[in-house]
Each structure stands twice: as C-alpha cells, then as structure tokens.
A and B are shown apart, each in its own frame.
Chain A
Amino acid sequence: MSLDITAVRAIATLARIELAEEELAPLAGELSKILDFVEQLSEVNTDGIAPMSSVADQGLPMRADLVTDGGIADLILANAPEAAEGFFTVPKVVE
C-alpha cells in the first residue's frame, strides 16, 4: 500500500498537523514503508476471531454518579496559554 501526496495531505488535515509542501513527499515515503511493513498481517486468517480491545479480563467498573470534586477553575486554567475571566480563550470563530 503506498500513499501519495494527496493522501498524506488528507491525513495531515484529519490529524490537525500543518505540513509544508516540501514535507509531503518524504512523509509519503516513510508512511508507505510502514504500511508495507504492516501489510503482512493480511496473510493471517482471522475469520471468527473477535477483536481484542483490552487485555484486562474485566468489564468497566461502575460507580455512583456523584460529584466528587470541583471548584478548582483557577488550577485548571493555570496552565492555559491564554485565559480570561475564568475561561479558556480561542481565536475568533465567528466574524
């Protein structure tokens, strides 16, 4: 499986990573090589095998739906690159 520049550009858009034009071709090569490597999985017969999403032999635990913390807005905002009046701030979304 090989990826072309258009495909790499589309993946970068999905991943929200800006790429310069000159980065596309080298990345297409690297990613294609990785996909070639994982291609060998197609030779394994997996009919009737259930996908394994967790090795933990347990269901997800349930707990009471109660508020256990809160009131720490200042702590949460302390690491924000930009914050104002108790909120995270972002670039203007609506003109």
Chain B
Amino acid sequence: MTALTDLTLAEARDVLARGETSAVELTRAFLDRVVAQRALNAFITETAELALAEAARSDARRKLGEAGAMEGLPIGIKDLFCTEGVRTTAASRILDGFTPPYESTISARLKAAGAISLGKLNLDEFAMGSSNKTSAFGPVVNPWTRRSDRAARLVPGGSSGGSAAAVAARLVLGATGTDTGGSIRQPAAFCGITGIKPTYGRCSRWGVVAFASSLDQAGPMARTVRDCAIMLETMAGYDPKDSTSVNRPVPDFEAALTGDVRGLKVGIPRQYRPDGLSAEVAAVWDQGMEWLRAAGAEPVEIDLPHTKYALPTYYIVAPAEASSNLARYDGLRFGQRVPGKSLDEMYAKTRAAGFGPEVRRRIMIGTYVLSAGYYDAYYAKAQKIRRLIAEDFRQAFERVDVILTPTAPTPAFGLDESPDDPVTMWLNDIFTIPTSLAGLPGLSLPAGLSAEGLPLGLQLIGRPFDEETVFKVAGVMEQAAGFDARPEGV
C-alpha cells in the first residue's frame, strides 16, 4: 500500500471516507514527517498536540455522519493567517509574542470543513520577498536539489516558501498561501507543486496580515490540480467582514476538471520572452502549448503591450499600500515594544528593531511615493498604468479563453546565490505581477524538469472569476505532463 504521506489530498479524502485509515493515523503519519524534515525550516510553529486532538474529534464527527468536505485532512497554514490561540508572526520580529484572539476567515473555513492544521508555515517577512530569505525565523530550504550538487541548498521561492516546501516534502497534503505579486505561484513553480491565486475578491482577506490590500489574495497550494480545486472550494466565498470580498456563488471547482479543452483558445503573449528567460523555461512553455494543441485547444498569439511596465508599477503600488498598512506596528497595541523617551521615539525605535531590511526598504519607498509633492508623479502615475495593464488583459480575453505563460524566468536558485540587489531579485515575479495588478486568477503547475533536475512551472491565467476554465486547462496539462518526479530523499 502507498505510504499515507504519499497520498494526494483527494486520495486521502477517499481513503478516509472508505474507512481504510483514520484522521488520527493520517495526522500521526504527517507529524512524523514534519519532525523528520525539520532541517527544511518549513514551519515556524508546529501544533502537533492541537492537531492530534482535532484529529480525534474529526474521527468522532465522521462516525456521527457529520464529515465535512476536508474532514480529517492534514494541512499547513501560512503564518500570515491569524489563528486563534496560536501565535502568528508574519515571519517578523515586530509581532513578537502576538497570539491572535480571533481566527482568519480562510483558516476558519478550512477548520469548519474538517481540515486539521499541523501548524504555521514559514514565509518571507510580511510576505515581502521571492526567496524566503527575509524571514526573521531563517530561510526555508527547498527539498529539491541539483543533480550536479546535492549538497547545495536552494531557495523554495517566496513568499509562501514554507507552504511550498511543506507540500513538496509531503509534510502536509495542502497548505494555504497568499499571493500579492506571485507569492503562491513562484514558490509552487520552484518546488514542483500546484498553486492558484484566485480572482481578487474570491477569498476573504479578513484576518490575514495585510501587505498590499488591493493585491493580496489567499489561495491553495497542493500537489495536484484536483487538490487545489477541492481546497479552493472550501476557502472561497463571500465574507461581509472583507469589503472587497465579492458576493457571488462558489462553483464546484472539482467538477470543472472535465478533461475537455477542445476548441478553447489559448493566448500566448509575445511580450513574455524577455532576454533573461532561461532556454529550458522557454522549451517547457512551447511543450505546454503542444500538449494543449494535441488535446484540441488552439494557440493564439496575443499582445499585452504594457507588460514591461508591470514590475515598476507594482513596486510603487505595493510599497505604497504596505507603508500605510504597516503603520499599525507602533509598539503600542501588540507585538514588540522598544522603550523611548517620547511617543515618537518609541515608535521609531520599535520599528527600527522590528522590521528587517527588505520590509524597511519597501516602507520607505512607499512613504516617499505617497508624500506631498511626489504623489502624482509616482503613485497616481502607477495607478493609471495599472489600468492600462488591466485593459491589456481585458482586450486579450475578447479573443482567448485562457493565457499560458511560464511562471518564473528560471528554476530555483541557491540560498547563497540570490542577488543582493533588490531590483534583480524582483525580476523573479516578472510573469506573475501583471496578473496580480489586473486581479485575475493565475495557477502554476509543474510541467517538467531542468537539466539539473529542478522543477519548472507554467502559469495559466483566466478571466475574472473563471477559475473553472483555469482548472480545466490545468487538469489537461497535468495529465499530459505526467509530472511524477519527487525531491531526492523525500
């Protein structure tokens, strides 16, 4: 029999339903792996005792015939979601000692559906980063290694790096992520798993530590397209506590996996072949289109002319919103406080001690572009170009049903190789940021391996609230790719 931890989320659901294992047994199996793989540093906080107690209650619910959609399935929660009674850090020192007295809507929905949380997963500080190296709790290690150098440690991507590494290393069946500019999709690509950032407004942001509120969106990360569909159906839905949550029905996402993409038009943007694109990534992109063509879909070249402006636009809009959101960390109501002689001095000392270099840099850029005299030149200008970028997609979707692109320009890089220069680091998100600015659903799935044996991801972008088409096309590509590689030693 397959090891319990090798089951996909859908398989585990069915095994539990048939009574072939229990939630307690399944939870124990994953908790053993969590302990065995601590060197990955995927978790900031493990909650084994809470998980086992909840698993016992889950088994009791099932006996009573009250099993939820994710009953008894062990998952991990990115440590950006507030969890009642369990410390929440956002991977920042400034939240030192913070234990939320409330539960985020997303984690509450997952728990209400019966899912068992094994703990809180590591991330870049305040979800700002593409390598997981900005975490105050140390970097996460990618379970994948290069064929030529198994000892060299690689980054898992970011910001949902702990989520991606935990899923890839079979520490959990699925995990929550959040995505502001690519923070679900890029780590999913780097770790050879699947992740979807749904349409902005699909998942409630209530109780999620805010980074850039007009972009932040939660989504699932798991090993298969079906697993993500199951998780998203539980996570999604209207929440009056989030004023940008959209009140519309949540489709049966799993039912969208029909395997039939005949006649669908797949957009291939001309502007997504920049100079730095790895030849292997370009090849897997072409291969992906061939799979869809063989399945009866039609490739259509499209133009997204403002693509090159997405990155600079994002790096005005996101820091501006971050500087405003992160103003709340004042050492007064929660988290760390560094004493000062005056109130202002206390603020300044607390924030200097609490924020890491990347967060500090973004707060300062945001403060500058919002300050008097610069607002119109930077912030208002960026907001106008954001509209042009969104309009590019709107026009493209008049001609195509879905868009196929690479997820990231390269496979995972080394922990010691990541560029110190922030602008170079940001280029990781060159293919994911335009989708975020336009608020569209974007899914990354593993499509192949590099010559070094590292996973390469492809991204599918859909119309607003048309995650179903994205899932349908992803399902066909997943089957064609037959991606069954796993990290060495996992």
Contact = CB atoms under 8 A, between A and B. Distances in A.
A38 B320 CA distance: 13
B98 interface: yes
A54 B132 CA distance: 28
A13 to B, nearest CB: 8
Contact of B343 (A18, A50, A91): A91
Given A78-B101, A90-B343, A56 B244 contact: yes
Nearest to B341: A91
B364 A88 contact: no
A18 B306 contact: no
B339 A91 contact: yes
Interface string B191-213: 00000000011000000000000
B380 interface: yes
A19 B352 CA distance: 7
A27 B365 CA distance: 11
Contact of A93 (B200, B343, B371, B421): B343
A84 interface: no
B312 A31 contact: no
B202 to A, nearest CB: 10
A38 B383 contact: no
A63 B351 contact: no
A50 B387 contact: yes
Interface string A14-42: 11111100000001001101110111111
Contacts of A31: 361, 364-365, 368
A52 B383 contact: yes
Given A90-B332, A91-B340, A56 B200 contact: yes
Interface string A28-70: 0011011101111110101001111111111011010000000
B331 A41 contact: no
Contact of B422 (A12, A30, A58): A30
Interface residues of A, number: 50
Interface string B328-365: 00111111110111111111110110010000110111
B383 to A, nearest CB: 3
B456 to A, nearest CB: 27
B214 A82 contact: no
B243 A60 contact: yes
Interface string B4-20: 00000000000000000
A14 B333 contact: no
Interface residues of B, number: 72
A49 B439 contact: no
B69 interface: no
Contacts of B147: none
Given A17-B364, A19-B352, A80 B333 contact: yes
A41 B348 contact: no
Nearest to B344: A16
Contacts of A16: 327, 330, 344, 347-348, 351
Contacts of A60: 243
B63 interface: no
A19 B438 CA distance: 36
A12 B289 CA distance: 49
Contact of A34 (B201, B240, B381, B422): B422
B381 A41 contact: yes
Contacts of B345: 18, 91
B224 interface: no
Contact of A61 (B101, B243, B335): B243
A58 B378 CA distance: 25
Contacts of A52: 383-384, 386-387, 390
B9 to A, nearest CB: 29
A82 B54 CA distance: 34
B440 to A, nearest CB: 8
Contacts of A88: 332-333
Given A15-B323, A19-B352, A81 B246 contact: no
Which of B347, B368, B381 counts the most A-chain CB atoms under 10 A from its CB? B368
B229 interface: no
Nearest to A59: B243
Given A15-B351, A34-B423, A91 B346 contact: yes
Contact of B352 (A17, A35, A56, A63): A17
A56 B201 contact: yes
Contacts of B315: 34, 37-38
Interface in B95-133: 97-101
Interface of B: 97-101, 200-201, 214, 240, 243-244, 246-247, 306, 308-309, 311-313, 315-316, 323, 327, 330-337, 339-349, 351-352, 355, 360-361, 363-365, 367-368, 371, 377-378, 380-388, 390, 421-423, 437-439, 464
Given A37-B423, A46-B385, A56-B201, 4 more contacts: A17-B360, A44-B388, A79-B98, A91-B339
8 contacts: A13-B348, A17-B360, A41-B382, A46-B388, A49-B384, A79-B97, A88-B332, A91-B341
